[in-house]
Amino acid sequence: MIGYFDSVEKLIMKHIYLLLFVLLFTNGLSAQNGQISFEGEKYLKNIKQLTFGGENAEAYFSADGKKLIFQSKRDGLGCDQIFTMNLDGSDTKMVSTGKGRTTCSFFFKSGKKIVYSSTHLGSEECPPNPDFSKGYVWPIYSSFDIFRAKPDGSGAKRLTKTPGYDAEATVSPDGKTIVFTSMRDGDLDIYTMDRNGKNVKRLTTELGYDGGPFFSPDGKQIVYRSYHPKTEAEIARYKDRLANDLIEPNNFEVWLMNADGTNKRQVTKLGDASFAPYFHPSGKKIIFASNHFDESGRGRNFDLLMINTDGTGLERITTYDSFDGFPMFSPDGKKLVFASNRNAATRGDTNVFIADWVED
């Protein structure tokens, strides 16, 4: 009888192992199944995946439309570094120092310079990740400064030298002005400066976070994301997080202002996490990422949406049921680059995708 039960036990264990294998295998398939386009994404044609593995995001075109610059945590890197690549994903090169943590890179119009932010002067090690025990937060590392360099990363020059966070820099279409976010006056506000770091001007002054700015195609407007606390509780919570170099990205709205900081107006009133706004080539619409259509109740499903600059005509662009974000149109308006979790080989992978932008 012992031999009989022993055989039965082995048979049961064999089936358990087989079931576990099937579950693991099918979960793997569901994560990376080769599907990179989804029903309802009518504006996106010929989608191509440019990166494969790791965390890759904030990919932005060069002015001639031939290169992309992006941040990536890959190949054993402890935190994000800046890379460039061709539009087909080839010739990928690290162009930051490989030290500290970097973010928010951009090409100048000439193509002969790039701009990005880095913490490497504060420490060559990656800064610590934030404590998520009190909820999802973004770190506002005080050691972030903005640097200008050649496209291969050589000749890096520090442009910001004031204490506190300086990051989220992009460049005007004429290449003369950098717009960025800074804590230099005690709050997270938007500033402009010349390409050499001179003539700094503060554009926003309302309490709260103003950041992620981009110029319009004609350089006359700036689109950005904002959170302005209203109630005493909201203000106290915002100030408490900020005192610990943190911000909660749970309720951002898209805003517009003139390039000199005048005529500020709110575009979205969704009450959700809307971020990474960028102008449509016409200058009359804005594409951005938001969890507005997330039906899970967890707020983790981000899609690309588009809206008119007057706040009308909200339209959903992507329908993938996880993360799509950081969109940018090519200079000629014919392509869209964005980051997504679609077709991830490993849970949490974010990759860069490019698509033809088609409007009837």
Residue 129 in tokens? 């990740």
pLDDT recorded at residue 274: 97
Q: What is the pTM of this model?
A: 0.89
| C-alpha–C-alpha distance, residues 320 and 218, integer Å | 32
Q: How far apart are the first and last CA of the chain?
A: 75
Contacts of 315 (CB under 8 A, 6+ apart): 305, 306, 307
pLDDT recorded at residue 3: 44
pLDDT recorded at residue 9: 40
Q: Classify domain 36-357 by CATH number.
A: 2.120.10.30
3-class DSSP state for residue 11?
helix
Domain borders along the chain are 1-31, 36-357
Burial, 330: exposed, middle or buried (Cβ in 10 Å; 0-12, 13-18, 19+)? buried
Helix extents (H) in the chain: 2-31, 232-243
Contacts of 87 (CB under 8 A, 6+ apart): 50, 65, 66, 67, 68, 335, 354
Low-confidence ranges of the chain (pLDDT < 70): 1-32, 134
